[in-house]
């Protein structure tokens, strides 16, 4: 049976470190880091995500604020708000929840957030820094994926890794992070031929295609490590629905370790958002930002729930 990589437990460890970093900043006389979330409209999923992020901020001592705007707001007005937040010294992280209404250019809005406060890591400057290995803020989900991988594999040098999906949010940035660690990376997409044969060679599989149960058991070699980024609601029993990932979980128990859905990558995304906010605050205060590495490679922090068991 495969070990289950408990994303909730690892996220709690990261939150503990983030809280310690916040406490250290406050003890040194600095204001607590501040994160501002912009929510346009009333998309139900976005409402849930924003609430979870605000609650997470409270747990670690980050000051949080919200700007809830009607879906009729003009792009100009939204950009004016962002410009004001860009120069607000009490705001260290700005997060504009997507999707945005159709009349607003999402790329232009996200690009208007200054790179230093872009805690999502989506600004072209941060994307460029990531692709060239020159620092910047790393996108939250890819950063969380790397931390999960490192609970199982300390050294990725020479490992064959297959990333399924080439999105700008997950696939491309995580591929860059893996390359920085000397892994041999193959990125696949919807037009890739012979996907099962490609995946079967992988020591590590990052499934981020948004296709439920795409990765079948016969695609996965014995002892591989699987990070399942996908999350899709599908029909379940008795007329109810359930959440599933991109991996046929029951079929991959011959793997070394696998993340569950839910309870794997999701909790790490929010934990990394908080960590990024503190990193941005430290930079703003001129405090050394290299004290703790972005990606934890400490082999002493392996966290599983045990063979074949799902976290509660």
Q: What is the pLDDT of residue 28?
A: 97
Considering 3, 21, 53, 279, which one is annotated as catalytic? 53
Whether 136 contacts 129, CB under 8 Å: yes
Percent over 90 (pLDDT), the chain: 88
Tabulate helix, strand, coil % of the chain (nearest 5): 40, 20, 40
Predicted confidence (pLDDT) per residue in 102-157, tens digit: 999 999 999 999 999 999 999 999 999 999 999 999 999 999 999 999 999 999 99
Non-local (6+) Cβ contacts of 187 within 8 A are: 162, 163, 166, 171, 172, 175
- Residue 97: active-site member: yes
pLDDT at 311 over 60: no
| Per-residue confidence (pLDDT) for residue 78, from 0 to 100 | 98
- What is the Cα Rg of the chain in Å? 19
Is the pLDDT assigned to residue 226 strictly greater than 90?
yes
What whole-number distance in Å separates Cα of residue 145 and Cα of residue 225? 12
* pLDDT score, position 308: 46
* Rounded Cα distance, 244 and 242, in Å: 7
- 270 phi/psi in degrees, rounded to 5: -70, -40
For residue range 123-138, what is the model confidence (pLDDT) as tens digits? Answer: 999 999 999 999 999 9
- Res 306: pLDDT: 45
Q: Average pLDDT, stretch 212-232? A: 98
CB 137 within 8 A of CB 276: yes
Give the model's pLDDT for residue 294.
58
Residue 187: pLDDT band by 50, 70, 90 thresholds? very high
Q: Whole-model pTM? A: 0.92
CA distance 88 to 190: 43
The pLDDT score that the predictor gives to residue 237 is: 85
How many CB atoms are located within 10 Å of the residue 203 CB?
18
Cβ atoms 227, 261 nearer than 8 A: no
pLDDT recorded at residue 295: 57
CA of 272: how far to CAs of 18, 91, 124, 138, 266, in Å? 9, 18, 19, 9, 10
Taking residues 270-288, report their average pLDDT. 96
Catalytic hit among 3, 6, 15, 97: 97
Indicate the DSSP class of residue 247: B
Mean pLDDT across the chain: 93
Higher pLDDT, 238 or 219: 219
User: Quick check: 310 pLDDT over 90?
Assistant: no
pLDDT in tens, 75-101: 999 999 999 999 999 999 999 999 999
Specify the pLDDT at position 90: 97
Residue 232 scores a pLDDT above 70: yes
Give the per-residue pLDDT at 296: 52
The H or E element containing residue 95 is strand 93-96
Rounded to 10 degrees, what is the CA torsion of 281, 115, 70, 42? Answer: -80
Contacts of 276 (CB under 8 A, 6+ apart): 93, 119, 120, 121, 137, 138, 140, 143
Task: Read off the pLDDT band of 231 (50, 70, 90).
Answer: very high
From 120, 203, 246, 296, active-site residue: 120
Q: Is the dihedral of CA 117, 137, 224, 200 positive or negative?
A: positive
Rounded Cα distance between 308 and 205, Å, is 18
Rounded Cα distance between 229 and 37, Å, is 23
The residue ranking higher by pLDDT, 301 or 265, is: 265
Give, in order, the Cα–Cα distances in Å from 117 to each of 97, 177, 230, 276: 14, 21, 27, 9
């Amino acid at each position: 049976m495969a070990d289950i990589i408990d994303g909730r437990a690892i996220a709690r460890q990261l939150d503990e470190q983030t809280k310690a970093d916040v406490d250290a900043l406050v003890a040194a006389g600095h204001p607590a880091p501040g994160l501002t979330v912009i929510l346009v409209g009333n998309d139900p999923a976005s409402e849930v995500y924003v609430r979870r992020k605000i609650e997470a901020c409270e747990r670690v001592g980050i000051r949080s604020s919200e700007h809830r705007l009607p879906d009729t707001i003009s792009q100009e007005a939204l950009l004016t708000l962002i410009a004001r937040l860009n120069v607000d010294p009490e705001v260290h992280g700005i997060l504009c929840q997507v999707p945005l209404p159709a009349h607003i250019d999402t790329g232009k809005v996200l690009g208007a957030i200054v790179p230093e406060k872009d805690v999502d890591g989506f600004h072209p400057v941060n994307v460029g820094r990531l692709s060239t290995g020159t620092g910047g803020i790393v996108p939250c989900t890819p950063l969380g994926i790397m931390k999960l991988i490192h609970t199982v594999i300390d050294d990725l040098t020479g490992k064959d890794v297959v990333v399924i999906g080439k999105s700008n949010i997950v696939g491309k940035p995580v591929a860059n992070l893996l390359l920085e660690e000397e892994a041999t990376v193959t990125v696949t997409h919807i037009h890739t031929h012979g996907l099962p044969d490609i995946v079967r060679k992988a020591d590590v599989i990052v499934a981020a295609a948004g296709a439920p149960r795409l990765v079948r058991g016969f695609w996965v070699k014995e002892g591989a490590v699987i990070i399942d980024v996908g999350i899709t609601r599908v029909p379940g029993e008795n007329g109810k629905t359930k959440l599933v990932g991109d991996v046929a979980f029951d079929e991959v128990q011959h793997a070394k370790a696998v993340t569950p859905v839910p309870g794997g990558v999701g909790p790490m995304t929010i934990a990394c958002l908080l960590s990024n906010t503190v990193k941005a605050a430290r930079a703003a205060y001129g405090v050394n930002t290299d004290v703790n590495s972005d990606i934890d490679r400490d082999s002493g922090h392996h966290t599983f729930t045990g063979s074949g068991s799902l976290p509660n």
